[in-house]
Amino acid sequence: MTVSPAFRKASTKDTPEFADAAHRRESAWAFRTGADTYDDVRPGYPPAVLELLDAHRTVADLGAGTGKLTAALVAAGHDVLASDPSADMVRVLRSRLDVPVWRATAEATALREGSVDAVTCAQTWHWVDAAEACRELDRVVRPGGRVVLVWNNLDVSHPWILRLARIMHSGDIQRPGFLPAVHAPWRITRELRTGWVQHLRTGQLFDLMATRSYWLKSGPAVRERMTENLRWYLFDRLEFQEGQLLPVPYRTDAFVLER
């Protein structure tokens, strides 16, 4: 495979940047559509993430999306509740799993005070007001409970993946070793950093691009340009074949929060 360097360096930021709270909400609101494609091509999470919950029984998966982590929590024997602000995501989640599901945000969960042993937020925390969410989680998590924040990041240490991420406008890629914003009474007590590979066919990379907030917010002209850029990169520049199965490297960064 010919290595194609990216036109910009990888992100050195701990979190995606938004101009203000309204910009963050607008970007997150893009996920009101596209849940079926998201469920088809977005990856799940490595088993080591589940080990961070130890024996915490009742878990609320907030910002659960289509249930990528929710399903793993259920399979591991946890009593799981799940919520997401997107009606489309909730629709797919309800079709996949027989757990209580509702629409809510991490800042306003609609959970009773002290009702859960743990909370998970996977691919979610950069979309929320961290200070407000920390106050809400302090209210709903029982004494001795914990919060687990999780991100899957495309591993842009591979040059071809870095350029792929740029073409896709994958703005949720944090630098290696990043730390999320956390507010009292919570503090980070444990970190998990691990790498793994998802295998996708070339056509699925177009679907993966269509799960990004930038794509979902864009009109037909921008989407057409992004599609042509990705087509050129995969087939003209890298000379992949239609339908070729490709290893797509990921990093998972996860954090245990305790009081």
Domain of residue 226, residue span: 21-258
pLDDT at 6 over 60: no
Q: Is residue 114 included in any domain, yes or no?
A: yes
Q: Is residue 98 included in any domain, yes or no?
A: yes
Mean pLDDT of all residues belonging to the chain: 91
Confidence band for 140, pLDDT divided at 50, 70 and 90: very high
Instruction: Work out the percent of the chain whose per-residue pLDDT is above 90.
Output: 84
pLDDT in tens, 59-77: 999 999 999 999 999 999 9
59 vs 82: CA distance, rounded Å? 8
What average pLDDT score do residues 228-235 get?
98
pLDDT at residue 2, as a whole number: 47
64 vs 223: CA distance, rounded Å? 26
pLDDT at 198 over 70: yes
Query: Which structure tokens are listed for 171?
Result: 């703005």
Q: When comparing pLDDT for 231 and 4, which is higher?
A: 231
pLDDT at residue 31, as a whole number: 78
Q: When comparing pLDDT for 65 and 21, which is higher?
A: 65
> Number of structural domains, the chain?
1
99 vs 124: CA distance, rounded Å? 20
CATH code at 238?
3.40.50.150
Q: Is residue 8 included in any domain, yes or no?
A: no
pLDDT at residue 173, as a whole number: 77
